[in-house]
Chains A and B, each alone.
Chain A
């Protein structure tokens, strides 16, 4: 093997020397090396978590469809042509390497649903939530979710979550993952969502059939 490599390298080395390319070549390389130093830190930040960032972009695509197939009360948009999508992430979710907010807004900001333009915002407190039409709660933390859901009580806000007991807590649409195959090495999963129709009815929201057809239906137990 080493013979093979050295034959190859020698041949390559001969070529360069014959053409007197050596100097030019290395000068060019040094230039590229130094110039690349400046670009590197930025590139690293952008490519971080490349494989994972698709998840929130994909969820944004789902949310766009949710917005399309949900009917709000006519008076909700009486004096507004904007549809406010609020993203509420807890501390842990906000600190993950996958930038949730920027991924969602990169997909949805300025997109239109019917005649309404989507505006993606970060929402933390009750007042900010009041102005939302859709609230995406990025958390698996029960207390955090409950607090946000309580904030939407009595308002026509479509709540979207991604926690195991989100629907049971009164959330309307909940993302979950379905594993594709059970092999130890298989990393693939598909996104699914379940819909709590009762919760939507309480907020005077109606889902169109095209949304319900793709959903898993969650039924609240009658007490």
Chain B
């Protein structure tokens, strides 16, 4: 019925409305372009040297020239969206599914199955991988920095494995902080609101003519989740999430074509949590209040050398240490990584080649032990408790300009050797066609793999318990065990890691079209079809009896490469500069996933897997400058429901900022204004919030 009403708009009306939408930006663009005219004769030589231009000679691809689904979240986007963390900032990119699971947990994925550790997404912060190969995922709670010092976040949807390596199956998120040169002087940021409070101090200076540095300190406290959920049984935990972090970055850019970067940080944080405890006697299951702590640090160095306009190299090295509580266990992970990359251009006959090749080595050492004060537990074990892993990788990629300025082909592959699955090859082929300045069409076929994580291979953990009185115990245990049922033995459900797992494989077909109608009206659209094979999943195995510490049955959930599946969807995003200081951006993404068992023919219910991602997401932002001092920004998001338990929601954020001076900004932000609270993934409910923020540079 609803659709019929829309059709009431006559053909004439629709046509004129469409034409209006298409032509209107052309009209308005002209005015804004003229207003932005700068008089460069008023600049000094040193000022001129700081003006950024698009380097055309070297072709370090413009976004429009990249044959992949790329979206860049700029510093301005972050500032004007009012987000207070990196995980939340990712909602700004189209096609990224961000769902808050708990006070300190997010499920973030791109075009994939979403779980807390959405295991197919690679995340890099200034070149350092924060993807944990131990848990196969990213601990979003410990990823943070001074948001004002982030330069941009590049989000690549789709396999980025040819360059970035394994586990970049569904996408790559690249977070870049600013060059120390661009963060000179002091900056103080304070935030106080209904959901959180935070503060940061940063100071930047120079050491000699070519070296600059910055140091920073940041803390936050997110402790006010106490609202009662819609479902009467669930109450948001009051979590007292506190975090401290401090770090530095040094940059040295010499005229000789060398640049050096040195960066490091340490952090510590904690939040209240509840651990599940299973006992083999009544009441079988209980929860214990606990504090989850984590701490760590890293240090990274990078040396870039430019031989000429056509050849440059990067050498990067880092060490990272993370200690983190994981339920009743404590983990300690050390990572050492060294990477080399060389890029050069050459011509063969008439075609220009841009070749990039690289080598990498990573050493990961982990150790698990039970938390201090925890009794020896039968419910969790990892075998072996400590493990050293070595990862060797190489990649090569060639970009060939088949027709100058119009058609280019990219062929590349990553070759990797890891201790879990051995040798992995991940190739891709991409084609880009730019028929004019305003259009770009691209297509890609790529293969990527996800290597099983340490937990998927070695962890044994109890996730559920059935009391002996459970009525279907006999059926559940099967004929053999069921006939000789021990009366007071409970049954536990135990997830068992599998050392024989192979990696999950993805073949991806993607296509995209970009349109730059004018400099102020841009549209970017992509469509994709993914084929997954050997998807890792847990499946029930045959139950058995165990006698220690006392008799109980074990119903095993074994990890196996048991499923295959497919995913398809489309994303469209656009940006429209209506006036010099009014911009609208919008995005819509659609995703459909389907999984099926590879071996079993009968239909086992896999609905949970299918619906762990919203099928539709819509976002519309308006960024408006009311005057030179005043910004008013509104952001509307709609995310469709996941299942019967998690409904779709509409969230509205609004921000009002006042800048009495260039260096001083006051802002008032309202988040999730649409409703008092809503679920995003789990029973946890995100609440409406308001905060006030001061940012001052001097």
Interface residues of A (CB under 8 A from B): 1-4, 6-7, 9-10, 13, 17, 22, 25-26, 29-30, 32-33, 36, 39-40, 43-44, 46-52, 54-55, 57-58, 60-62, 64-65, 69, 97, 107-108, 111, 164, 176-177, 179-192, 210-211, 214, 216
Contacts and interface: CB of A to CB of B under 8 A. Distances in A.
B72 interface: yes
A10 B2 contact: yes
Interface centre among B29, B54, B304 (most CB of A within 10 A): B54
Contacts of B70: 185
Contact of B58 (A26, A179, A192): A179
Interface centre among A176, A181, A211 (most CB of B within 10 A): A181
Interface stretch (B36-44, B388-396, B450-458, B546-554): B36-44
B13 interface: yes
Given A33-B20, A107-B39, A185-B63, A13 B53 contact: no
A57 B52 contact: no
B420 interface: no
Interface stretch (B4-12, B130-138, B560-568): B4-12
A47 B30 contact: yes
B16 A97 contact: no
A49 B27 contact: no
Nearest to B127: A183
Contacts of B16: 26, 29-30, 33
Interface in B12-57: 12-13, 16-17, 19-20, 23-24, 26-27, 29-30, 33, 38-41, 43-46, 48-57
B23 A57 contact: no
B33 A189 contact: no
- Which 6 pairs, one residue from A and one from B, show the smallest C-beta to C-beta distance? A61-B40, A1-B616, A189-B55, A50-B519, A29-B16, A214-B45
A214 B49 contact: yes
23 contacts: A1-B590, A1-B638, A4-B616, A4-B650, A29-B20, A36-B23, A39-B26, A47-B33, A58-B40, A62-B48, A65-B45, A69-B45, A181-B179, A183-B174, A187-B54, A189-B52, A189-B53, A189-B58, A190-B51, A190-B52, A191-B48, A191-B51, A214-B46
Contacts of B58: 177, 179, 189
B5 A13 contact: yes
B598 interface: no
Interface centre among B40, B518, B616, B650 (most CB of A within 10 A): B40
Contact of B53 (A58, A65, A184): A58
Contacts of B255: 192, 216
A111 B41 CA distance: 9
Nearest to A49: B437
Nearest to A210: B45
A46 B30 contact: yes
Interface centre among A25, A29, A189 (most CB of B within 10 A): A29
B618 interface: yes
Contact of A179 (B8, B13, B55, B356): B55
Interface stretch (B306-314, B486-494, B531-539): B306-314
A9 B6 contact: yes
Contacts of B590: 1
Contacts of B55: 177, 179, 187-189
Contacts of B39: 107
Contacts of B618: 1, 4
B40 A57 contact: yes
Given A187-B60, A189-B55, A65 B44 contact: yes
A58 B51 contact: yes
Nearest to B19: A33
A39 B28 CA distance: 11
Contacts of B638: 1, 4
Given A32-B24, A179-B60, A26 B53 contact: no
A185 B41 contact: no
**Chain A contact surface mostly:** helix
A9 B17 CA distance: 13
Contacts of A189: 52-55, 58, 60
A108 B49 CA distance: 18
Contacts of A179: 55, 58, 60, 306, 312
Interface in B197-220: none
A190 B314 contact: no
A134 to B, nearest CB: 14
B53 A190 contact: yes
Interface in B296-339: 304, 306, 308-309, 312, 314
Contacts of B33: 46-47, 50
A189 B60 CA distance: 9
Nearest to A69: B45
Interface string B247-284: 00000000100000000000000000000000000000
Contacts, number: 186
Given A10-B6, A185-B154, A211-B45, A190 B50 contact: yes
Interface in B228-244: none
A64 B48 CA distance: 11
B62 interface: yes
A17 B50 CA distance: 55
Interface centre among A1, A17, A210 (most CB of B within 10 A): A1
B214 to A, nearest CB: 16
Nearest to A55: B53
Given A1-B588, A61-B48, 15 more contacts: A2-B616, A7-B2, A13-B5, A26-B16, A29-B19, A47-B33, A50-B519, A51-B54, A54-B53, A61-B41, A65-B43, A107-B39, A177-B57, A185-B72, A189-B54
Nearest to A47: B518
B22 to A, nearest CB: 9
A60 B40 contact: yes
B13 A26 contact: yes
Contact of A6 (B3, B9, B72, B314): B3
Contacts of A3: 2
B634 to A, nearest CB: 16
Contacts of A17: 8
Nearest to B309: A164
B590 to A, nearest CB: 7
Interface centre among B53, B304, B308 (most CB of A within 10 A): B53
Contacts of B53: 54-55, 58, 177, 188-191
A52 B437 CA distance: 11
B437 A97 contact: yes
A64 B41 contact: yes
A4 B674 CA distance: 14
A7 B308 CA distance: 59
Contacts of A191: 48-49, 51, 53
A11 B519 CA distance: 33
B508 interface: no
A184 to B, nearest CB: 7
A186 B3 CA distance: 44
B648 to A, nearest CB: 8
B543 to A, nearest CB: 43
B122 interface: no
B45 A36 contact: no
B163 interface: yes
Contacts of A1: 588, 590, 615-616, 618, 638, 640
Contacts of B647: none
